[in-house]
Each structure stands twice: as C-alpha cells, then as structure tokens.
A = this chain, B = another copy of it.
Amino acid sequence: MEYLQRLVAQFAKLPGIGTKTAQRLAYHVITMPVDDVKQFARDMYDARGKVKYCSVCGNLSEQEVCEVCSDTRRDASIICVVKDARDVYAIEKTHEYRGLYHVLGGTISPLEGIGPDDIAIKPLLTRLQGEVQEVILATNPDVQGEATAAYISRLIAPLGVQVTRIAHGVPIGTELEYADEVTLAKAIEGRRNIF
C-alpha cells in the first residue's frame, strides 16, 4: 500500500495531526469520489500558488496589496503588530478593530537564531513615517512575544508615536479558579476603574 502510506505521511506532516489522525484522513480521501479528490488536490495547489504576502503589511493576500491595506475605510492612523497572518484573521473575526496591521512573520528568539533583522521590524519603522499615531503590539503573551514587543517599543519610543500593548487577563467565559497564576497576576495588575 505504497501510495496510501505516502498520503498518510503527508497528512502526518501537518501541524497537530498525529499518525492516527493522518491514517483516518488518508483512508477517508481514498474512499471519496475521484472528482472530489481531484478538486481538493487542485484547491490545495491553487491556494498555494495564488496566495502571497501583502507588499505593505506582510499579511496573506491574493492581490499585491491585501484586503485590509487596500480598504480606504480603515483607520490608517493605527497599526496593529502581530506575529503572523493567522493573528490578523483572528483579530478580523472580532469586527472590533478598524485600523491596519503589520505582520512580523515571527518573533525574536535567540535560541532559535531569530534576531530582529530576521523579522519585519524595519519595514514597520518605515511605515511609521506617515500618518500613524498609534502602534498596538499584539504579539503573543509568551517569552518571545513579550521580548519582541519590548524591543519594538524601545525602537518606536523616540519617534513620537504612541505604543500600546494588548491587555492580558482572565479570558471571557472561563472561571477564575482555572486561570493560571501569571494570567491572574496580569489581570490584577491591569485592573481598570469601572466608574
């Protein structure tokens, strides 16, 4: 079953897909109608070929400039800095944010040999010469994300642009007792007046 095993191996290479799941997916594919499999294979190939990086913000885009950057109704005075394009998608789904984005394409991680020049920090600084008034640092609340946010904030500080960090705290819909100590400490540290 050489061809089947090859497909299992392909699925198993995807993030979060273990051998058992890969097996299940491969078995499913080979019992799908041939035309459906052909379409799936084509969609996969097409998506990879058509999707590129926005030349302005680094977000994924099927055009030279992404949908957010080319939307003139967006507030060009705010830039939200994220690690990767999936974060843009996550924030867009909230329908809460109307500014622009900047995708770093990674975070500073000396252990992995990723320095400031390996992610899109310089292109961000170039963008700040225009009408930008605020930069929201929305990197992940982990060691690399915090370090990257700190590094960028030091670079921007002298430019007279306001730099903010997304709030950390207890997630909505969970119970306080299940929050970890660091999250709870951040939630208390970041407390706000309610009236």
Q: A residues bordering B, Cβ < 8 Å?
A: 1-4, 6-7, 10, 14-17, 21, 23-30, 32, 34, 37-51, 60-62, 67, 85-86, 89
Contacts and interface: CB of A to CB of B under 8 A. Distances in A.
A interface, over-half SS: helix
A103 to B, nearest CB: 12
A28 B14 contact: yes
A7 B51 CA distance: 11
A36 to B, nearest CB: 8
A44 B10 contact: yes
A23 B67 contact: no
A62 B1 contact: yes
Contacts of A48: 29-30, 32, 34, 37-38
